[in-house]
Amino acid sequence: MNPNDMSADDVGANDMSADEPPLLSARGLTKYYGARAGCLDVDLDVYPGEVLAIVGESGSGKSTLLALLATELAPSAGTVGYRMAGDALTDLATLPEADRRRLLRTEWGFVRQNAEQGLRMAVSAGGNVGERLMAIGWRNYGAIRAEAGDWLGRVEIADDRIDDDPRGFSGGMRQRLQIARNLVTRPRLVFMDEPTGGLDVSVQARLLDLIRSLVADLGAAVIIVTHDLAVARLLSHRIMVMRHGRVIETGLTDQVLDDPREPYTQLLVASVLAA
């Protein structure tokens, strides 16, 4: 099954209320690398349960934007605010480092293109998942192991691999393990950076189905960076198109991809149709 053949008709799990405040909000977000601009004056809001895709060619600024939103890079200008559970929007730049690290371990997840960067490769599959549970206060070994085993099953990793370390896993299995590690705490917000990049097409298709199903079940907000418009169409409610560090077009995914306004977006869509 090719991702380009998939439909996005049933992408969203939760209806997003127009009255609900954003979970994550950025204003004027800018990043310079010396004289070179990586991201310029970006505004965005992401709502609970929403999947936002950020697309563009290599060098467009999409990965820089994701790193800024996830606090992995400090902005040259602008702010990123996050709505803590039951609280007002908090400027993440003012968050103490200990609180930021706790946020990354508990309420947020980050699925990386290279699963080796998102896993502890010398720790067992069950241990990779169990560590996240311990970060949110789980202490009973039996309960942790049972929950880890349940999540390995959810991502289609056999029970008898729970004590294996990821160095013996295929690329697709590592990525599924990384997804389990990130979603086991039921995060409110998940960042994904090209989660299917570099995988065989058949593996990509199954992984995308899995991501869509799990995200829908959890009702998590997701920000996904991808160069693949088929991935964006399948997974996202809204899409942002970036070029030269700027957002040049944004809107509902199907509207933007079926009737792109900007010539650059038209070119991206045409290149997929011609492939």
- Candidates 139, 143, 132, 67; CA nearest to 106 is 132
Answer whether residue 14 shows pLDDT above 70.
no
Residue 274's pLDDT band, with cuts at 50, 70 and 90, is: low
Q: Read out DSSP for 120-132?
A: -TTS-HHHHHHHH
Using a pLDDT cut of 90, give the percent of the chain over it: 80
Convert the pLDDT of each residue in 60-92 to its tens digit. 999 999 999 999 999 999 999 999 877 789 999
pLDDT, residue 243, reads 96
Please list, in sequence order, all residues whose beta carbon lies within 8 angstroms of the beta carbon of residue 52, skipping any fewer than 6 positions away: 44, 46, 221, 222, 223, 224, 236, 237, 238, 239, 240
Using a pLDDT cut of 70, give the percent of the chain over it: 92
Q: Are 215 and 188 in contact (CB under 8 A)?
A: no
Q: What is the pTM of this model?
A: 0.90
Cα separation, 215 vs 50, in Å, equals: 10
Give how far the C-alpha of residue 152 lies from the chain's centroid of Cα atoms, to the nearest Å: 19
SS3 call for 207: helix
Convert the pLDDT of each residue in 91-124 to its tens digit. 999 999 999 998 998 899 999 999 999 999 999 9
Convert the pLDDT of each residue in 247-259 to its tens digit. 999 999 999 999 9
pLDDT, residue 13, reads 39
Q: Are 195 and 215 in contact (CB under 8 A)?
A: no
Output DSSP code: residue 16.
P
Answer whether residue 220 shows pLDDT above 50.
yes
Answer whether residue 29 shows pLDDT above 50.
yes
- Candidates 79, 106, 100; CA nearest to 22 is 79
Q: Is the four-CA dihedral 188, 61, 9, 22 of positive or negative sign?
A: positive
pLDDT, residue 229, reads 93
Cα separation, 38 vs 206, in Å, equals: 33
Answer whether residue 4 shows pLDDT above 60.
no
Overall fold of domain 22-107+187-274: Rossmann fold (3.40.50)
pLDDT, residue 16, reads 52
Q: Where do the domains of the chain lie? A: 22-107+187-274, 119-171+180-185
- Candidates 229, 232, 254, 225; CA nearest to 42 is 225
Convert the pLDDT of each residue in 171-210 to its tens digit. 999 999 999 999 999 999 999 999 988 888 888 888 999 9
Answer whether residue 245 shows pLDDT above 70.
yes
